[in-house]
Amino acid sequence: MIRWFIFVIAYVALSFYVLQALKTITKQPWWSWLYIVVSLVVMLNFIYQFSIGEETGRVLSISKSYAFGFLLTLLTFNIITILFLFSEDMYRLVSGVYQKLYGEEKQFGLPARRRFLSLLAMGIAAVPFGTLLYGMYKGKYNFKVLKYNLEFDDLPDGFDGYQITQISDIHSGSFDDRKKIEYAVDLINKQKSDVLLFTGDMVNNMTSEMEPWADLFSTLHAKDGKFSVLGNHDYGDYIPWDTEELKHQNLEDLKKLQKDMGFDLLLNEHRYLQNGDDKIALVGVENWGKGGFKKAGDLKKAASQINVDDFKILMSHDPSHWEMEVIQDAYHYHLTLSGHTHGMQFGIEIPGWIKWSPVKWRYPYWAGIYKEMGQFINVNRGFGFLGYPGRVGIWPEITVITLKKKVLT
């Protein structure tokens, strides 16, 4: 209760401060009333969703996600506006003190707010405000197909030109637009890849989240099959369960659902992809993540029945596994496919110029292709979204990788 009281006081104080800028800009009272109504609705909805709203656990439901998203959007607008107003108010305060001490009338008085500065403040604040709203309305379904050609000296001849489609982090519990997901599934199939690999986090918490979408994702197809691994969210660790048996059953149900959808789920095991007399080893581990994330992945077990000289593709949900274990392993994993980071669903990417997201401070390998010690990793930016119900600058990704035999010169 105390936390909500502090939140309300702080929120109202910020909103009141911004309201002064709005009154400086326009004398039309309806603008002020509109701002007050929107601010109250956002605040009350957030309080309702996070106090007596449905569902518990560490992963936000759709309604909670939107409540959080709208609050984040409005707070961003308020804070940026206030940064400008506060700097001006410091100037006004210093001017008033100077007049009191050294002015002719020796009276303290604050100069009027400058309309231009208030306009500038709210104009600049409107950019992230509109961007965050766009991310919730359109950005989260702004699917991009990213294509890479990767060359290897020891790629078997039969796999020169072999095409892989990778998707990751479906997070079906966050979907709210079937038409958009139908479009994305069709976009995946249009790539006509030889194999489809899914690198974990099919759900947010529960198998039931995927059930309304299972028929749609069952239509995904590739010549050499569909393979998958588990991500940290697939284990149901982020919500309370009445019993351990129910939690265990939820995971077993998800495994069965993936099988029913046509995915070959690799649980610390391998498969061989064959093309004529040539083959490559596809290895899949359960989730392994640094810090407090589940460490069920067992690379030694998964690779126990493959040959050291095999060309190897590893599916491992969390890129920290590649960083901390895979690239140092005695086996050479030519290509690892991961996801998990979502690119934080926020950042700036201009190909050839800049690639930045705050998530880089936690994950040095957070999006795209990296190479260390002669081994590649692709970190997929994710198909779905979680928490903030949108994406800004880091768009949902379908990765298409073509394996190429390096030409000797």
Beta carbons of 338 and 313 less than 8 angstroms apart: no
Residue 305 neighbours by CB distance under 10 Å: 10
Task: Quickly list DSSP for 357-389.
Answer: -GGGGT-SS-SEEEEETTEEEEE---SS--SSS
At 242, which amino acid appears? D
Q: Does the CA dihedral 400-398-252-210 come out positive or negative?
A: negative
CA distances from residue 407 to 68, 151, 153, 201 in whole angstroms, order as listed:
52, 9, 8, 37
Question: pLDDT truncated to tens, each residue of the chain (409 aa)?
Answer: 788 999 999 999 999 888 887 877 777 888 889 999 999 999 999 999 988 766 666 677 899 999 999 999 999 999 998 887 776 666 556 665 556 556 556 554 544 556 777 788 888 999 999 999 999 999 999 999 999 999 999 999 999 999 999 999 999 999 999 999 999 999 999 999 999 999 999 999 999 999 999 999 999 999 999 999 999 999 999 999 999 999 999 999 999 999 999 999 999 999 999 999 999 999 999 999 998 899 999 999 999 999 999 999 999 999 999 999 999 999 999 999 999 999 999 999 998 899 999 999 999 999 999 999 999 999 999 999 999 999 999 999 999 999 999 887 6
Helix (H, G, I), strand (E, B) or coil at 109: coil
**70 Cβ contact list (under 8 Å, min separation 6):** 42, 45, 46
**101 Cβ contact list (under 8 Å, min separation 6):** none
Q: What is the pLDDT of residue 156?
A: 97
**352 Cβ contact list (under 8 Å, min separation 6):** none
Rounded to whole angstroms, the Cα distance separating 264 from 258 reads 7
Map out the domains of the chain with their CATH numbers.
Answer: 2-138 (no CATH), 143-405 (3.60.21.10)
